[in-house]
Structure 1
Amino acid sequence: MQIGIVTDSTSSLDPDDALREHIEVVPLQVIIGAETYTEGDDVTADMIAEALAAFVPVSTSRPTPDDFLAVYERLAADGAEAIVSVHLSARMSGTLESAQLASKQASVPVTCIDSAQVGLATGFAAGRAALARDAGEDAAGVADAARQAGESSSVLIYVDTLEYLRRGGRVGAAAALIGSALAVKPILTIEDGAVVPLERVRTKAKALARLEALAVEKAEACDDGFDIGVQHLASLDTATAVAGRLATALGREEVSVDEVGAAIGAHVGPGMISVTITPR
């Protein structure tokens, strides 16, 4: 059975990787001031960081059902007999809802998966779906592979401030107050598809050290290996240093470092560092 795999641009998939693994990526829209841009096309994370620093309003918009339907029908025309569509947490975006609405009109069966994650964890889930497809799994098996990857992933996030998440409604106002009090630096995680505070640390240096320690604990608990990646917004040097220390601690040659896409960047703000671990 020929199975198409679709995800959205928050999955942080490298375009070359998506092409090689035959994963279709549907972009979100990013609004900076009065201008609307398409993620992965004409907007960069650097543009987001600059706009946020200048207090220019930044927001995001989910793909429409028609956007998804056009991709589903193109895959069907190319021979797909079923499609698995893997997306960021429904608690953070209406993207999954758009995919579900489109699936009802598609000419082939479409299974929509809530990864209950965001960023690289959603990308890893889409990648696991591709591996399952290439191993000969049917649509149900491909969907289960994506779902399990999302459920088992750990995402650890350091942010300089919770202000940007608070503005976008991605974390509660009480958490924002806790994070700002006494210059506490928050470590966040994804729990049940939502961003929640995990720990509070006094300084950035201590917060990053704790982030690394937690990531090593999570990785070492994976009995059959794991995928890992570091993401950042406008903090390449810090992210590279974190990745280097993680590689040393885990006995790896390297840990990949990528800048988050514009849609995620709009909500986390400059200075964000995250580590994603997905068991194999």
Structure 2
Amino acid sequence: MSVAIVTDSTAYLPASVVDAHGIQVVPLHVVIAGTEYSEGVDVSTTEVAAALRAFRPVSTSRPSPQAFLDAYEKAAADGATAVVSVHISADMSSTVESAHLAARHSPVPVTVVDSRSLGMAMGFGVISAAELAAEGASAQEVADRALWRCEGSTVVFYVDTLEHLRRGGRIGLASAFLGSALAIKPILGLSDGHIRGVEKVRTSGRALARLEELALAAGDAPQGVDVAVHHLDSQTRAEGLASRLRERMQGAHEILTVELGAVVGAHVGPGTLAVAVSPRP
């Protein structure tokens, strides 16, 4: 059996990884002041950050079922006998729904995986899926490996303001933080596909310190971990955090610095820092 891997652009996989593993990436869309763009294709995170700062309307939308069907048909044409399609949490986007609709018409069987996550927490699961597929595993084994790694990951992040999450309807279980949003720097996390509140701190410096400590706690896995430090328009702070984690996290196999893309960036806003810690198989 030859299993192909499809994911979406919110995995934020480096291009070199996508190319090395032959992963197909279907882009989500971002709409800035009425004009629609494809994430990772014709819009930059700098443009999104500038639009948010200027209070220009920014929204996002899922890929069409046809976009997924095109990916599945390409996989079949390239010789795949099955597809595993791994996507952003269904509670954050209806992308999974588009994948399911396309799977009904695919020329080869498609297993759609709701990662219950996003960013490199999902991306590391996609990488593990591609590695297992290359070893000749079945589609179900590949899908199980992807989901195991996604579900086992820890994601914590800091936002300068909750306003962008509130406007986009992605505030989730962190809504209790809204009442004191002006007085705090919130640390948030993902829990079963939902955003939740983790801690309220008073300064951005304290928030960065807590992100570091929470990441270190999550990195205590016997088999080691992979780590990604995400940011939106905050590269210096992200690189500093990644450097400190490299010095302190003994079990980290790899620590990447990866900029968030336009879609997630539209909901979290400029200045966001996030850490994804993923236990290795």
Per the TM superposition, whether the score is higher than 0.5 is yes
Indicate yes or no: 2:115 matched with 1:115: yes
Could you list the per-position Cα deviations for residues 172-213 of structure 1 after superposition, in whole angstroms to 9, with x for gaps in the alignment?
Answer: 4833524514x2111111001011111111111111101100
**Counterparts of 1:170 and 1:58, CA distance in 2:** 14
Aligned 8 A contact 1:116 1:151 in 2 = yes
The 1:151/1:241 distance shift into structure 2, 3 A limit, reads same
Could you list the per-position Cα deviations for residues 30-88 of structure 1 after superposition, in whole angstroms to 9, with x for gaps in the alignment?
Answer: 10002111111110111010000000000111001011001101111111100000000
The 1:94/1:254 distance shift into structure 2, 3 A limit, reads closer
Query: Which letter maps to 1:248?
Result: E
**Counterparts of 1:2 and 1:50, CA distance in 2:** 43
Indicate yes or no: 2:213 matched with 1:213: yes
Which residue is equivalent to 1:64? 64
Which residue is equivalent to 1:232? 231
The 1:213/1:207 distance shift into structure 2, 3 A limit, reads same
**Counterparts of 2:74 and 2:41, CA distance in 1:** 20
Aligned 8 A contact 1:228 1:277 in 2 = yes
**Counterparts of 1:115 and 1:200, CA distance in 2:** 27
Q: Classify the secondary structure of the residue corresponding to 2:227.
A: strand
**Counterparts of 1:90 and 1:179, CA distance in 2:** 28
Which residue is equivalent to 2:106? 106
Number of residue pairs the alignment of both structures matches: 278
Q: Classify the secondary structure of the residue corresponding to 2:178.
A: helix
Aligned 8 A contact 1:7 1:26 in 2 = yes
**Counterparts of 1:276 and 1:116, CA distance in 2:** 13
Query: Which letter maps to 2:157?
Result: I
**Counterparts of 2:191 and 2:179, CA distance in 1:** 18
Query: Which letter maps to 2:190?
Result: I
Which residue is equivalent to 1:174? 175
Aligned 8 A contact 2:121 2:153 in 1 = yes
Aligned 8 A contact 2:225 2:254 in 1 = no
Q: CA deviation at 1:136?
A: 2.2
Q: Compare 99-108 and 133-142 and name the one that shifted more.
A: 133-142
Gapped regions of structure 1 (runs ≥ 5): none
Q: CA deviation at 1:277?
A: 0.5
Q: CA deviation at 1:255?
A: 2.6
**Counterparts of 1:139 and 1:108, CA distance in 2:** 11
Which residue is equivalent to 1:201? 201
**Counterparts of 1:57 and 1:17, CA distance in 2:** 33
The 1:69/1:253 distance shift into structure 2, 3 A limit, reads closer
Give the alignment's TM-score, normalised by structure 2.
0.96
The 1:254/1:74 distance shift into structure 2, 3 A limit, reads closer
Which residue is equivalent to 1:89? 89
Q: Compare 248-257 and 52-61 and name the one that shifted more.
A: 248-257
Aligned 8 A contact 2:185 2:207 in 1 = yes
The 1:31/1:187 distance shift into structure 2, 3 A limit, reads same
Aligned 8 A contact 1:161 1:179 in 2 = no
Q: Classify the secondary structure of the residue corresponding to 2:219.
A: helix
Query: Which letter maps to 1:44?
Result: S
Which residue is equivalent to 1:223? 222
Aligned 8 A contact 1:162 1:179 in 2 = no
Which residue is equivalent to 2:7? 7
Give the alignment's TM-score, normalised by structure 1.
0.96
What is the aligned-residue RMSD (CA, Å)?
Answer: 1.4
**Counterparts of 1:131 and 1:58, CA distance in 2:** 36
Q: Compare 266-275 and 255-264 and name the one that shifted more.
A: 255-264
Q: CA deviation at 1:152?
A: 0.2
Q: Classify the secondary structure of the residue corresponding to 1:255.
A: strand
**Counterparts of 1:103 and 1:213, CA distance in 2:** 41
